[in-house]
Each structure stands twice: as structure tokens, then as C-alpha cells.
Structure 1
């Protein structure tokens, strides 16, 4: 929920900024070709203040500016290193975030537009470049620390340096595996969807309805709100069946019905630039009936029985029979905790259905078949395996090696990133308004950068009328 509220506030700031008539702003810092505005700093300060009940100290602005400078340095370097964030990635992220907000609003588009004072399309346009920058920054940061590794000796030394009375106390935790299958729609349901798309295609070609209207009223994904537009993208970003059909279209041509793992599509080619294309689509997904679900339940239950009688291992069953569209598939079925990034779950981190399913299981035992929904809302089935359980305890190297290893790696990555920043600052053009040069966190930028600006009056800019 906290991440959701943060996203709401970020979008709200963008929305409010758009509604101001005349905005007087100031450039307070520059890193390479990237600028930081006073309004950026104040909006981030307001956001941080909204997340605490205590007043933030004045020096909080210094820390926020320092983090903004780091972000701009990484973004500037991402451009120099030609790190690419394509339109399709940005659009996917935007749709996911908008969909999440809408889900909290019960899918009420009018409520969304009343809250932000503008349409969903306008909100996405306003937020698009900020999101593109954040994705580039994240990718650049990951690139910088990618080669950082830790040895067992480093883990041991890191743990030994923690004062005994400062060792963390861990609550009871579990590791859980899952074997997931995706129920398949029956043939008659699939045929009905294909027929529906064929009829829509005929209506579009006969000019009875536009492609955009058909997508808005019928398409099952977030692109529907934009008339099915998926933006510009390069080869290799779509699934194989979709991409093969899209690249074989002539400009303005509409494909026949195309099947992919996501459902059935009509695809229209809207533009082509070298190896990049812009396409729109209409996606329909066959409804999964209760009979379809029951058939998959019996199938999954039979696999679980074979694991229980040692016909094959859980890991083998995941690779042989499980869906490869879930994160756990590439980790032998072991689930990762999104809150911590590791495979350990406290009780409060587990989905309630999973918790109750494993509550009385023995280690390595399997649950009954459970129904759940994928992040995209699709019905899925799984059996879960309790793979380990710990009692509440003070951290030890033997029992918590994986966590201590992660902490060691994170500390080493942070130090590596700090060293990288210090070196990069010395070769990067940096300007900082004199008002912020008193900040202790800003000293490295002042001492090591190629240029320092004094006085902020020349940085004033005016936007709007």
C-alpha cells in the first residue's frame, strides 16, 4: 500500500503542476546535460513529509538534493553509454501503474479523472518521460554494480564485524515452493473468440467502426484506453507469434487473427522506421470456465500425487509440467519474497491462502490444489511445498548465511557505487546553486566536479503564460 500511495502522490504532483497557470521556477543544479529544478526538490520534500508524522529537519532538503544529483549523474551516463529504454517498456510500466491505481478505485475511470483533474491519457503523457528516466537510472545503476561479487571470506568478515548486541533478530520464517499451471480454455470458447475478432475485423474494413473504437470497447489489456496503441518498439520485444505477424504487415494493414500466449489478436501496422515499428492491437482472451478449471485441477492433483509417492522430484515437476511464466519457475519453483528479494517469508509476507495451506504441513510436504490470480488477473492453479521453517532467533552465520551474504553484497555494491560516483563526478560538468553548497552531502560534488556555479538568479526560468 505504501508504494501505491507514493505512486498516487507522484502522479498527483504532476497533475497539480499541470494545472498552474504561470510557474516561476529555478534551475538549482546541473549534471552534464541534466537539470534539477527547485520545484523538483520541493515536490520530493513534500512527498517525504507526507510519509511521516514528524516534521522533517531543514537538512532533509540537502539529502534529497544529493539523491537527485546521483540520479541525474546516472541518467546522464546512461545516455553516454547508450542505455536504451524503449517505448514499449515505458508503455507497459505506465499501463501497469494506471491499472493498479484503477483497481484501488474499483475500475472507475471517472473517479480517476476527477482525482487527477485530467484524463488517463493526459496523465500518462505527463508521467511518461519521468518514468523513462527512472527506468534508465535503474538500468544504469544495475550496470555499474553488475560485476560486484562477494566471497565466503568476505561474508564471514562482514558478519564478524557486526557487534553481537546489534545482530538482527529474525522472526519465524518459511521457504515455499510452488508448482503452477495455467488452465486452458476449451476449444468451443476459443472458437467463439476467434469468430468475434473476425467479425470485428470485418466491421473495421467495412468502415462500420474504427480500429480505435473496437479496441476501446473490446480489448482485454491496458492499451484499450489508447485505442490499442502499443507505441514504437524494436524487433525482439514482442512474443514470437505476434512479432512475426506484425513485421509482415504493410502500413495500415490489419492482420488476420493471431494467437499468442496472451490470447488472440488483431494487429494493425501504424508506422515503420528502420527496424522499429508502431502497432496497435485488439486482444481478446477466451473465458476459462469452471469445467476448464476442474480439468486443470485434476491434472495438477495427479502430478502432486506422483511427487508425494517419489515418482519424481518437485524440482523436476516444476520444469516438466509447470508454467514458465511465473518467477519461481527459474528457481526450481522456490518463491521469492518481493519485500526482501530473498526466498524467506515471514507470516505477514505470505498470501493468506498460502499461509493456511502450509500452516500444518511437514517439511517437503505438498498442499492441496489452490486457485489464485496472476498479476494480470488470469486464473491460475498451484500446489505449494513447505521447504524450510525456522524458529524466532538471533542471526547466525550457519542459519542465515543467504541473508548475510545479501547484506554483504549490498554493502559492497553501495561502496562500489559511491566510488564510481566520486570518479564520475570529477569528469562531469556540474553546477550547483550557491544556497545548497553549504550542505555537507554536496561537498563531494563541489570539490570534485569540473565546474561550480555561484548565484542562482541566472537559473530562473518561466513556463506557462
Structure 2
């Protein structure tokens, strides 16, 4: 069970992710011609290439700690397809907005990776953007169906404190208690350096000048390459594909859907700075637009002033003149001010960070701090262009340790719940296999499965 649980963890990360749902995309008919069909479940198929692709991904994501055979991989994929099949049977509904949102995130991610949507289309052999979106919609629809069917099957599953205790004792008796990595909880005070009014006016005037030059016939793309502070401008000329569901900032989307084709906007402000935008094309609910971003500069003397202020706050905290919490309320310019400066882990949405999986630069700053200690102020610059000095407090720290039922109750509870959910899904799958059409290809007929996918009669 320990091995299967570990595999399932990485399968879930692989099969239902945006990235690997996309990497394998090709026209379905074309794939079947050049690729063997490993299994058919209902109307769903698993190709031989799917087995190889996801097997490699499991091993990659586990950093080589999990090795899985082709037969084990096939069984995991069959369970996913069984879920997708019965989601349809159970009339699980999938809304257009949630699929569109996922498709847009996929397109946005790969556009950033390749530099332009045209390069993405070319790299994966699609005819155009609509062709790409159609295939991505198919992939993401299946992903959502699987997720919702899993939720449906396990929605009433829960664990009692006694079940958590028995689960823990069972792991302890078998010598399989997990080792939890070192975790830390951090809080920060951020002091931002705000540009002067004169600098802001200079940027707006410059954008108005560029706007007039473009309206007089200058190339928007060339002006963007020369002037824009958008880091993607060198590869895409500031051009983006925009929908109302895409993850672009509100001001950017609103402007794209306000302009007429060829029109250049007035300068408008966002969290990233000041923009002008030109609309190039309207394709249904999609807009093709370019922008130029300019960020007001902050003089060095202003940055020096902010650093000295941060240093003074640290001294006051260390000397007991003010508490860290009160200093957050009084001085911090960051959104974390609302929760006492607490930094949230973007990967988990929680305040705890796994010390071994932190960004290397961030790790270097905080790894040696003891509970209650602070870093010295350091310079930082956000993607929005905001420049600042900040310092960090080590609010709490737990070193690497073997699971303890008292200290780690919540984590052990989550593991116990996950195990119970997996057992529930396994039981569900064994029942559903009986009345589901399943055909396994000859090459995989010799596989030994945990479940009766071959529908063999017990002797």
C-alpha cells in the first residue's frame, strides 16, 4: 500500500496537470496511426506513448525515488480513464468558464515559455490558435471530469481521531513513520520606494509622445522593443492574445476590450506601471493586442533613505522599543501587513515552508536564522517594477523529524484521510470495472494488475 500510495501521489501530479496534458497533444487520429492502443475503457483509450510519457514524468517528479513498471503505470492510467468514463455516466457537469480558464492558463504558460503563440502552434503542429484551443479543451475537459468524479466518490469520506491514531500506530509498528522535513514560518516588513510625481509625469508624457508617433505611422512593435519595460518584449514585440477569462490584470483586459482595431489607447495605470495599447485584431471573444509598459524610476538617494529607515526599525525592534507586530502595522507597505506580515507559501496557500524546497536565494537568507531572529534589510524588486527594502523574521521553525502524533497531528490526519480516500476509490473502481467495457491490447495482456481489469473469473 505504501508503494501504491506513493505512485498515486505522482500520478495525480502528472496525469491531471496542465503541462503534461498539453505536451502529448497531437491530432488524435494521427496519434493512433503511429502509436499502439494499450487499452480501451468505455470510449476512452490509453496509448502506448501515454504509458512511456507518464512513467518518465513520475520518475522525474519523484527525483528518481519512485520506479514504476509499464504495467503499474498502465493500471494507474486505466483508473483515470475509468473515472472519466463514469463521470459521463454519472452526468457530471463541466462548465464552459472553468474549461476556458484552464485552456487560457495553458496557452499563457506556453506562450511565456516559447515567446509567442505562433511558436507554440508551430512547435506542436497545430493549424492555428483555434485548432490548438480545440485540442486543449478536450484535454482539460477530461481532467475536470476526473477531478469531479473523484470528489463525488470521496465527498463523504472522513477520519475520526481514533482512525488517525490507529493509522499512526500501524505505521509505527511497521517502521514506516514518515519523516517530515524542516519547516519554517516567516513574517516580513516591506518598505517600498515610491517614485516622485515628477518622474510619473515624465513617463506619462513619454508614452503620449510615443502614442502620437505611432498614430503618425511609426511601428508599434519597434517602439515597444526600444521603450517597453515588459521583459517579454524582445520575443513577442509586446503582443498578447487576450480573453476575458485569461489571467491578465484587470486593467489590461478592460483596455483590450475597449479599443477599436488599430486604435492606440491613452496611457493607463496598472500595478506594473503605465501602459499604452494598440488593438490589432478581434477573433470572436479573443483580442490580439500589443502594449508598451514604462515603469517610473526611483532615484538612488530615495532607495538609500528607505534602507536607512529599515535599519532603524530593526534596531528599535531589537531594543524592545516596538514589537515586530506593531512595526508591521505602522511601517509595512505590503499586502502581508493585513496578517501581521506573515508570508504565505504560494505552492500550498499555507504559512509553512519546506526549508529544503525553497528558492535557493531565499533559502540562503533565512536558513541559518533561529526562531525570533531577523535578517538584515535587503533590496528587492518585484515583477511589477516596485523597488523596496525588506527584512524577515523567523516566526517559527521545526527541524527535520520523524512524525509525532501530537506535534504533527494535522499532517498525520491528512495522510490518514488520503489513504482512506484512496481505499474508497479502489473499492469503487473494483465495482465499476464489472460493468464497464474494457479491452486490453495484446502487448499488455500478460500484465498482472491489482484490480480485475481482465475480468477473469475467480477459480
TM category (shorter chain) comes to 0.5 to 0.7
Q: Output the CA distance in 1 between the equivalents of 2:109 and 2:188.
A: 26
Which runs of structure 2 are paired with 1:209-220 in the superposition (5 Å)? 209=219, 211-215=220-224, 218=228, 220=230
Return the alpha-carbon distance in structure 2 between the equivalents of residues 55 and 159 of structure 1. 26
Please say if residues 99 and 140 of structure 2, whose CA atoms lie closer than 8 Å, have aligned partners that are also in contact.
Answer: no
Change (3 A) 1:52 1:252: same
The equivalent position to 1:69 in structure 2, one of 66, 75, 81, is 81
Partner of 2:94: 81
Tell me the SS of whatever aligns to 2:35.
Answer: strand
Shift of 1:440: 3.9
Cα offset, 1:376, TM superposition: 7.6
Instruction: Report the counterpart of residue 397 of structure 2 in structure 1.
Output: 389
Q: 1:418 to 1:317 in 2, by over 3 A?
A: farther
Report the CA distance between 1:259 and its aligned residue: 0.7
CA distance 1:225–1:439, shift in 2 (3 Å): same
Counterpart residue number, 2:167: 158
**Paired residue secondary structure (2:100):** coil
SS across alignment from 1:166: coil
Q: State how far apart, in whole Å, the 2-side matches of 1:194 and 1:205 are.
A: 17
Aligned 8 A contact 1:252 1:268 in 2: yes
Matched, 1:231 2:241: yes
Asked if 1 retains the 8 angstrom alpha-carbon contact of 2:244 and 2:253, the reply is: no
Are 1:321 and 2:336 an aligned pair? no
SS state at 1:161 partner: helix
Q: Normalization by structure 2: what TM-score?
A: 0.67
The corresponding residue for 1:123 is: 123
Aligned length: 417
Provide closer, same or farther for how the CA distance between residues 340 and 330 of structure 1 changes in structure 2, counting only shifts above 3 A.
closer
Superposed, which structure 2 residues align to 1:303-382 within 5 Å? 309=320, 311=322, 314=325, 317=328, 321-324=332-335, 333-336=342-345, 338=347, 343-346=352-355, 349=358, 351-352=360-361, 354-357=363-366, 359-361=368-370, 363-372=371-380, 374=382, 381-382=389-390
1:91 partnered with 2:102: no
Residues 380-415 of structure 1: per-residue CA shift (max 9 Å, x gap): 543211122335543212222343233234334444
Aligned pairs for 1:240-255 (under 5 A) are 240-255=250-265
Contact 1:88 1:231 in 2 (8 A): no
Gaps of 5+ in 2: 1-12
Partner of 1:411: 419
- Alignment match, 2:204: 194
Q: After superposition, what is the alpha-carbon deviation per residue over 1:422-465, rounded to whole angstroms, capped at 9, x for unaligned? A: 677778776543543553448455659xxxxxxxxxxxxxxxxx
Which one of 214, 219, 239 corresponds to residue 204 of structure 1? 214
Q: Report the aligned-residue RMSD.
A: 5.1
| Closer, same or farther: CA 72–358 of 1 in aligned 2, 3 Å | same
Of residues 187-196 and 52-61 in structure 1, the stretch that sits farther from structure 2 once superposed is 52-61
Distance 1:256 1:443, change over 3 A: same
| Structure 2: distance between partners of 1:74 and 1:301 | 61
Query: 1:104 is matched with which residue?
Result: none
TM-score calculated relative to the size of structure 1: 0.66
Task: Flag structure 1 segments of 5+ consecutive residues without an equivalent.
Answer: 100-108, 110-117, 449-465
* Counterpart position of 2:48: 38
Q: 1:368 to 1:131 in 2, by over 3 A?
A: farther
DSSP 3-state at the match of 1:245: helix
What is the match of residue 455 of structure 1?
A: none
The 3 A distance-change label for structure 1 pair 290 and 360 is same
